[in-house]
Structure 1
Amino acid sequence: MNELTQRLRTFLKVAEHQSFNVAARELDIASSTATRHVNHLERQLGEPLLVRTTRHVRLSPAGERALIRFRAILAEVDQLEDELETLSERVAGPLRISVPWRYSRLYLAPLVSEFMQCYPEVALDIVSSDQRVDLVEDHFDVALRIGHLEDSSLIARQISDQRFVLAAAPSYLAAQPPIHQPQDLEHHRLLTFSYTTANHHWRLVQGDREHRISVRARALRTNNADILTQAALGGAGVVVQPLWAIREELASGRLLPVLEDFQVTSSDFDTGIHVVFARENQHNPRVRAWVDFLLARRERLSC
C-alpha cells in the first residue's frame, strides 16, 4: 500500500468512527500517524476535511464531498489490485524452452500435448539442440540441462540422476576380441560424444581404482547422440551413452552392456538431468507451471 492510499484509508476510518484513536487502533497505527495522514491530505487539498473539538471529530463540508470521492477512488484501487493479482497468477503467454535434441524426442515429446491441455493459454516455443544455450543472451525462459551443472546464478531443479553405460551391438562383440578389463578397450573401435570429451578420455571406476581410456583419434567422434547410437547398432564399435538414451536398445538386446561391474563416464560422474531458469524468472507463472509440471512427472522423465 502506498502513502496516498494509506492516507485515504485513514481518513475514511476517522470519518467512520469520528475518532482518531479508534481509527488508529483498527488500522494498527499510532494515533499520531493517523493525525499526520489526515493533516497531509488537508494541506494537499487546501481545505479542512474535519472539524475537531476536544471531544468529537466530524466531517466539514469539504470532508463530506471528499468522503464520497475517496471511497470511489479506493474502490477503483482495490479492483485494480485484484485484477493485477489475477493477471500475475494467470498462466498465459509465450514460453521459450531449450532441450537437448535426443532427450526431447525420447522423453519430452510425449508430454508436450499434456502440458498444452493443462495450460491452453501458454504458447510454447521449444528449441531442440545439443548446443548449450545462454538463457539470457539467447532469450530462453527455461532449459533442460543434462550433465554436470557449473556454478552459475541460474536456479536448478533436479529431475533425475544420470548413469552412463558402455555398450555395443552383438554383431560387433561377436567379431572382436572379448572385453574383460578396461585395458581391452584400447584395442577396440570407440564411438564418443564430442561435447563431453574435452579431456579425450573415458573414465572407468571400480572400487578405489580408476582407469582412463584415451578416445583421441578413435573410430567416431560426433556431437549428435543419434549418430552414435545408430553407429553402435550397426556394429561400428563400443559406445558410452547415458542409460536413459539407450534403455530401449538395451532392453531389446540390440545393444549389450560391456564391463557392467565398472562405473563409466565420458565426462563427470556427478551429472544429472536438471531444469534451470534465471533467478528473475522464479516468479514467472509460465516458468513455474513448466517446472512443476516436469517435477511432478519425474518417473516418466528418467530411467
Structure 2
Amino acid sequence: MNVDNLHLLLTVARRGSFAAVAKERDVDPSSVSRAIADLESELGLRLFQRSTRSMTLTEAGEIYLARLEPLLDELEHARDAAAQVSSAPRGLLRLTASVTFGQMCIVPLLGEFHARYPDLKVECAFSDANVDLVSERMDLAIRLAPAIEGDVVVAKLMDTRYGVYASPDYLAHHAPLLQPTDLSHHKVLLFNLRAYRTHWLFRDSEGREERVAIQGDLTLAPASALLTAALAGLGPALLPDWLVADAVAKGLLVPLFPGYAATATTFDTAAWIVYPSRSYLPNKVRVMADFLREKLRCQPPCGVPRCSLAQC
C-alpha cells in the first residue's frame, strides 16, 4: 500500500475537499480524486460520502482513519530514528509563528539554518491565529504569551519585555513625556487587541505598579505596522524588545521610560517553542528548536544584544 496515498487520505479528511488539497499541493484535483478512489478500491471500503456540496467520512472511513493516523506517526518516527544513526536531518519541517515575530526573528535566520542542514526543507506558515498543530500537521510553533496551555509540549525560547517608544521627531514636536502619567495627554498608537486599547501598566524598580489610561485615533495590526507608525512619528507605542532593538540601536526610536517595565496585560511574558504532544520528538524538530535557542535566547537576529534591553 502506498504510504504517500495514506498521508494524502489524512489530508483530504482534514480539509474535506479534493480541490483544497490539490491547490495546497499544486496538483490537478482529478489526481487527488483518483488516488483516493484507488485506495478505496484496494481496501474494498468506501471512505468518503460525496455530494455536490460536501464530502464527509463514512463510518468505515472514521474507523480506518482513527487507527491509521498513529500508525503513520510511528512510521515517521521509526524512519527518523534510523536516519539519525547515519545521516543529517532531512525531509520537511513545518513551522508556524505570529506574522511579525516570524518575519523579524525567524526569516533572517533561515539562510544560516539551511547552510547548516542542507537536506532539511522548511515550510513557514506565519499567522496571528493559534494554528492547531495536529490538524495542520505543524511540527512546531513559536508562540508569544505569559504561559501556554493545552495538550502540547512547551519549552521557553526567551523572555520578552515591553516598553513605550517614540521617534525623535515626535518627541521634538509634542509635549514632554517624562513619566508614564504624561501619556494621558498624548494620542498613542493602539494595538488591535482590546486589552491594549484603554490602559497600560507600569512597574518601577521598586515594584510599585501604576495603571495609566491611554487614548488614540490610530489602531493597527500586526505589530510590525505599529512599529512602522512609531518610526513615522505618528505617536508613542507599546512594543516588545525583540521588535524595536534595531530601531533603538540606530536612534530611530527612543525608549521613553527606561526606569519602568511596561505592559498591557502582564509583565511576565515569553516566546515559547511548542510541539504537538507526542512521545517522540523527531530529529528535524530537535535541531530547529536547538538552533532557535542558540540564536534567539540572548541575541535577536537584528544583531543588537538582547542583554542591553532586558536581562537574559
Change (3 A) 1:88 1:248: closer
Which residue matches 1:86? 82
Contact 1:159 / 1:301 at 8 angstroms: preserved in 2?
no
Match for residue 213 of structure 2?
214
Tell whether the 8 Å contact from 1:281 to 1:287 is kept in structure 2 after alignment.
no
1:224 match: 222
Counterpart contact for 1:196–1:266, Cα < 8 Å = no
Q: Is the 8 A contact 1:102 1:226 kept in 2?
A: yes
C-alpha distance 253-83 of structure 1, shift in aligned 2 (>3 A) = closer
Deviation at 1:107, TM superposition (A): 2.4
Task: Kindly report which structure 2 residues correspond to 1:1-303, keeping only aligned pairs within 5 A, or say none.
Answer: 85-87=81-83, 91-195=89-193, 197=195, 200-206=198-204, 207-215=206-214, 218-280=216-278, 282-297=280-295, 298-301=297-300, 303=306
Q: Conserved in 1, the CA contact under 8 Å of 2:190 and 2:196?
A: no
Q: 2: distance between equivalents of 1:122 and 1:196?
A: 40
Q: Give the count of matched residue pairs.
A: 221
Aligned partner of 2:4 in structure 1 is none
Q: Distance in 2 between matches of 1:83 and 1:221?
A: 49
Q: What residue identity is the alignment partner of 1:212? A: R
Compared with structure 1, are the counterparts of its residues 282 and 132 closer, same or farther at alpha carbon in structure 2 (3 Å cutoff)?
same
User: What one-letter code is carried by the residue in structure 2 that aligns with 1:86?
Assistant: A
User: Could you tell me which residue of structure 2 aligns to residue 72 of structure 1?
Assistant: none
Q: 1:67 corresponds to which residue?
A: none
Pair 1:231–1:84, CA change in 2 (3 A): closer
CA distance in 2, matches of 1:83, 1:144: 26
Amino acid at match of 2:267: F
How far is the alpha carbon of 1:83 from its aligned partner?
8.2
Q: Shift of residue 277 of structure 1?
A: 0.6
Can you give the 5+ residue segments of structure 1 that lack an aligned partner in the other structure? 1-81
One-letter amino acid of the counterpart of residue 286, structure 2: R
RMSD: 2.5
Judging changes above 3 Å, is the alpha-carbon distance between structure 1 residues 271 and 84 closer, same or farther for their aligned structure 2 residues? Answer: closer
Describe the SS at the equivalent of 2:265: coil
Report the alpha carbon displacement of residue 285 of structure 1 after superposing the two structures with TM. 1.8
Contact 2:81 2:282 in 1 (8 A): no
For normalisation by structure 1, the TM-score amounts to 0.66
* Cα displacement string for residues 9-34 of structure 1 (whole angstroms, at most 9, x for unaligned residues): xxxxxxxxxxxxxxxxxxxxxxxxxx
Q: Normalization by structure 2: what TM-score?
A: 0.64
Deviations along 1:264-290, whole A, 9 cap, x unmatched? 012321101221111216422221121
| Whole-angstrom distance in 2 between the partners of 1:228 and 1:178 | 21
| Structure 2: runs of 5+ lacking an equivalent | 1-77, 307-312
Give the percent of matched residue pairs that are identical in Structure 1 and Structure 2: 29
Q: Secondary structure at the match of 1:299?
A: coil
Q: CA deviation at 1:102?
A: 2.3
199-208 or 159-168, which deviates more: 199-208
Greater Cα radius of gyration, structure 1 or 2: 1
